[in-house]
Amino acid sequence: AIEQKLGIHGDAPAPRLQRDTADQSSFLAAVKGKSLRGVVEHIVNGSTFRLLVPESLTEYRSFLLCLTGVQCPGFKRPEGLDGKPDPAATPVPMPFALNARHASEMLLLHRDVEVVLHGADNRGTIFGSVRRVGDEQIDICDHLLRRGLAKLAGWNIEYSDKAAAYRAAEKTARDARTGVWKDYTPDPKASVLSSEELMGKVIEVVSGDTIVVLDPVSSEFRRFYLASIRAPRLGRGSEPDAPYAYDAREFVRKKLIGRKVNVKVEYVRSIPAESGKTPLPPQAYASISRGTGPIKGDGQVRASEDIGGLLVDVGLATVIRHRSDEERATLYDEYLARERAAIEARKGLHKGGEGPTRRVNDLTAPDARKRCKELATFYEKAGPMHGIVEYLSTGSRFRVYLVKEGALINFSLKDTRCPAPSRRTLGPTGVAEVTGGEPYGNEALQFSKESFLQRNVDITVEGIDRVGCFLGAMKTNFSGPSGTSVEVDAAEVLLENGYAKLSNFFDPNRDNNGDRLAAAQDTAFKAKRGLWENYEEPKEEEVANLAGKEPNLERGLIVEVGFGGRIFLQTSAEGLERVRSSIDGLNLHDDETPLPLAGIRVKDLVLARFSADGQWYRAKVVEKDDHRLRVSFIDYGNEEWISPSSVRTIPPASPLSSIPPCCRDLVLANVVVPSVEDDFCMEAGEELRNYCFMKEAEVKMWESSGPGPTPAEVTLTGADCTVTQHLLRKGLARLIRRRTAACRTRFTELGPDEAIGRATRMYLWRFGDPYDSDEDEDEVRKGANGDSRRGL
C-alpha cells in the first residue's frame, strides 16, 4: 500500500465539493425526466429522503426528495403557548411514522439508488421516483402502501406511471385495516363501485359533463355524469354561464346527440337529503364512449373514443382530484396525462383570462312580447333559419335558439297541436305535485324529445300568436335505414305517428305542405295510432242534437266587467241575503289569529275582508305569492290582492260553503275581445264598462266543457242589439274563425256587425286583419280554461 501510495499513504486527495440545491428550477430543467445515480444519505420520514448525487469525481449535489404519489406519516413539533409549533421542542412522531421510516431505512438507507425527478411542489420540494440499484423487484412506494404505512398523494400521483398499481396496493391495506387504516370507517356519502353497462341513445346534453340517455330496457330517460370529469357550470336563471360552459356543452352535443353510446357506470354517489325533504335519487357517474365495445380500459376501446377524454383534450373540462378512498374512472390516469398535455398547449380553460362570452337575446321572457311582434315581420321575410331546440313544453311547442340571430324564441308548429302533458307543480307545503295532462300528452312529449330535443333544425316563421310565440314549420334530419340523412317535417312526423292533430280551421289549400300534412294525419287515423286509437266519429243524431241544443236563459244585474269580454252577472238576490246574514252571524273580529300563508291553498273558499269598506265577504283564492293572496269575491265578481291577515276560514257548520255563488262568471261567446296583454285592452274594457256596468241584462248561456267562464250572449234590458254586436260595431271585438258548422252559423248572423267595425278602420282593424288562425284555436282553449282573469 505504501509502495503503491494507496489511501493515506498517497498524495493529498483533491478536495470534494458538496453542493446544496438552492436553485431548484434550473436544476430540474437540466435533469427532469432523466435517470440519476445517487446514495440515500438520510431518511427524514418514510417518504422523504436526502440524496447525494455525484456530478463528477470531485463534486456532489445534495437535495431533499419526496416520493411521487406517496405520503407517509411525519413528525410534528408540539405547540407552544402562542398556539404555534415550538421550534425548541422535540418533534413527536405521528401514528406509524416510526414504522414507515424504519421500513424505508431497511430498504434504502446508504444504498445506491436510481432517481428520476418529476417536478417540484409550491414550496420547492423536489418529488420523484426511487429504485434500488440491482433490485428491480423492490418498489418502495408499493412496499409502503401495501403495509398501510403510507397514503396516496393525489396532488402528484398523476406523474407516476404506476398510479393504478399504487391505488390497488392502497386499497389492499385499506380493506385489511392495516397500519394507518386501522381505524378507517367508510364515508356514508362516498361513492360506491358499480359494474352496470348499457347501450342507449343520447336524448339530451344538460352540460359538458351531464348527459341524459334513453335506457333501452326500462324505456326511461336516465341522467349520467361523466366519471372523474368536471366541466364548467351553465348558469341558472339570470346567473351567467361559467367561461367555456356553453362551448363544452356544444362540443358534447354535436358528437353525441341522437347517437347510441356505450355507458359503463363506474360508481354511484348518494346525495344526503335535507331535513324534511324527500331524498334525491343516487347519482350515477359513468364513462361514456362513442365506440361499439365495452369500456374496460383493456384496449377494446381507444381512449380517443371516450367523450370525457375528448373534453379534456380540448381544454373544456378538468379532471377531478379524488380522495384516496374514492372510486374513479377506469381511464383516470389517461385523463390526467391528457390534461397535462392540454395545460402545456394552453387549450380552452388553460389559456387564462376571462374566456369567451355569449350574448343571447332572450325573447321567451314574459315582457318580451312587444319585441317579438316587432321582429315577426323580419323573421317571416328571412326564410329558413338555423336553430337548436333547447326545450320542449309540449310535443309541438319548443324553445329554439337561433344561432345566426343569437336569439332564444318560443316556437310552435302552425296548425298542429299535441295534447298537453302532465306537469310538476309546487304544492302549498312545498312538495312537488303532479297535475294530470291530456291523453297521450306524455307520450307525445317523450316522442318529441327523442326526435327533436337539441337537434339542429331549420324553422320558417309564418306568424306570431298573441303571447309572442312564433308560428311556422320546422324541419330536421333523421337517419334513414341505410344510414343516410333524410330531411323531415316535424309536424308531418308527429301527425303520422298519431301524437298530434291538425287544427279544425286547417285548410290544405292555404299551406304549401298542406296535402302532405293531411295525408299524414289520415295515415295515423286509418292505422288507429296514438290519439286515434279509441276515436269514434259522432253519430248523425248526436251531431243534430248538439247543434239544436237550446241555451239557458237568466236575468240579473251586471255587477263587474273585465278584460277579454268578461262579464259578472248577479242573479240571486235571495241567495245574497242568506250569505250576508250568515256572515253577520259569525261575529268576526280583527284580533283573531290569522291563517298562516302556507295553510291557504289556491281554489280554497274563504272569508276575505274587502279593502274599500272593511266588510267580510265570501271569496275564492285565485293566486298567491310570498306575501299576498289574490281573491275573487264570488258573490260580486270583483278581485283584489290582500294580506293573509284579512282572511278567515269558513266554519264547517256554516251554510256558507253550500250556498252557490250569487254571481255568474261569463265571457262573450264566439268573439275575441282584447285581453289584458293585448293592444286596445283598455279601450275595450272601458267601452264594455260604460255600456253595461250596473245594468239589468238578459243572458243566454251555453254549457262550457272547462272550469272557466261560461260562454254567453248578453243583451241589456231595452237594448236593440247584444253586447257582442255593440263591441263588433265599435271595432273592439272580432269573430272567431274556425272550420265548424257552429262558427259558420255565427258568422252568418254577426258578420254584418263585424263588417261595420271593419269599415271604421279603428282599434282592431286599424292595420287590416288583426287575427291569425292559431290565435282562434288558442282563444277557444283560453276561454274554456278561464285564463288571465282581471277586473277593471
- For 565-622, the pLDDT digits (tens) are 888 998 877 888 888 888 888 877 766 777 777 778 888 888 888 888 888 888 888 8
Burial pattern 182-192, b for ≥16 Cβ within 10 A else e, equals: eeeeeeeeebe
> Within a 10 A sphere around the Cβ of 545, how many other Cβ atoms?
11
Angle subtended at Cα 42 by Cα 38 and Cα 45, rounded to the nearest 5 degrees: 120
Which neighbouring-strand residues pair with 435? 423
Which grid coordinates belong to 224?
Answer: 349520467
CA-based nearest residue to 138, from 98, 174, 106 = 106
What span, in angstroms and rounded, lies between the C-alpha atoms of 47 and 126?
12
Give the pLDDT band of residue 541 (cuts 50, 70, 90). Answer: very low
Q: What is the CATH number of domain 7-181?
A: 2.40.50.90
CA-based nearest residue to 127, from 40, 63, 43 = 63
Residue scoring higher pLDDT (278 or 722): 722
Stretch 304-328: mean pLDDT: 86
Which grid coordinates belong to 267?
Answer: 360508481
CA-based nearest residue to 600, from 568, 569, 566, 643 = 643
What span, in angstroms and rounded, lies between the C-alpha atoms of 119 and 68?
9
Stretch 667-686: mean pLDDT: 85
Give the pLDDT band of residue 189 (cuts 50, 70, 90). Answer: low
Which range among 201-205, 625-629, 634-638, 763-767 shows the weakest confidence by mean pLDDT? 763-767
What span, in angstroms and rounded, lies between the C-alpha atoms of 747 and 742?
9
The topology (CATH level 3) of 572-660 is: SH3 type barrels. (2.30.30)
Average pLDDT, the chain: 82
CA-based nearest residue to 447, from 505, 502, 490 = 490
DSSP state letter for 121: -
pLDDT of residue 429: 46
**Is the distance from CB of 142 to CB of 165 less than 8 angstroms?**
yes
Supply the DSSP string of 239-296, one letter for each residue: SPPPTTHHHHHHHHHHHHTTSEEEEEEEEEEPPPPPTTSPPPPPEEEEEEESSSS---
The topology (CATH level 3) of 544-571+662-792 is: OB fold (Dihydrolipoamide Acetyltransferase, E2P) (2.40.50)
Identify the residue whose cell numbers are 236575468: 555
Asked if pLDDT for residue 208 goes beyond 80, the answer is yes
pLDDT of residue 432: 57
Q: What is the CATH number of domain 192-351?
A: 2.40.50.90
Give the pLDDT band of residue 345 (cuts 50, 70, 90). Answer: very high
What sign does the dihedral 770-773-776-781 (CA atoms) show?
negative
Which neighbouring-strand residues pair with 358? none
Region(s) of the chain under CATH 2.40.50.90: 7-181, 192-351, 368-532, 544-571+662-792
Asked if pLDDT for residue 69 goes beyond 50, the answer is yes
Region(s) of the chain under CATH 2.30.30.140: 572-660
First-last CA distance in the chain: 121
Stretch 391-414: mean pLDDT: 93
**Is the distance from CB of 670 to CB of 700 less than 8 angstroms?**
no
The whole-angstrom distance between residue 357's C-alpha and the CA centroid of its chain comes to: 20
Identify the residue whose cell numbers are 402562542: 82
In one-letter notation, the amino acid at residue 255 is K
Residues contacting 87, CB < 8 A, separation 6+: 77
Q: What is the CATH number of domain 368-532?
A: 2.40.50.90
pLDDT single digits (tens) 119-144? 888 777 888 999 888 776 788 999 99
What span, in angstroms and rounded, lies between the C-alpha atoms of 116 and 137?
17
DSSP state letter for 85: B
pLDDT of residue 316: 94
Residue scoring higher pLDDT (318 or 655): 318
> Within a 10 A sphere around the Cβ of 440, how many other Cβ atoms?
21
In one-letter notation, the amino acid at residue 5 is K
The three-class DSSP label of residue 710 is strand
CA-based nearest residue to 287, from 273, 276, 277, 298 = 298
pLDDT single digits (tens) 70-92? 999 999 888 877 778 888 888 89
The shares of helix, strand and coil residues in the chain, as percent rounded to the nearest 5, are 30, 30, 40
Classify residue 779 as exposed, middle or buried by CB count within 10 Å of its CB (0-12, 13-18, 19+).
buried
Identify the residue whose cell numbers are 431518511: 43
Asked if pLDDT for residue 302 goes beyond 50, the answer is no
> Within a 10 A sphere around the Cβ of 641, how many other Cβ atoms?
14
Ramachandran angles phi, psi of 513, nearest 5°: -105, 20
CA-CA-CA-CA torsion for 626, 628, 632, 636, nearest 10 degrees?
Answer: 180
- Strands 197-207, 710-716: pairing kind: unpaired
What span, in angstroms and rounded, lies between the C-alpha atoms of 762 and 744?
25
Give the pLDDT band of residue 454 (cuts 50, 70, 90). Answer: very high
The CA-atom distances, in angstroms, between 399 and each of 413, 455, 478, 770 are: 12, 12, 20, 25
Identify the residue whose cell numbers are 307543480: 425
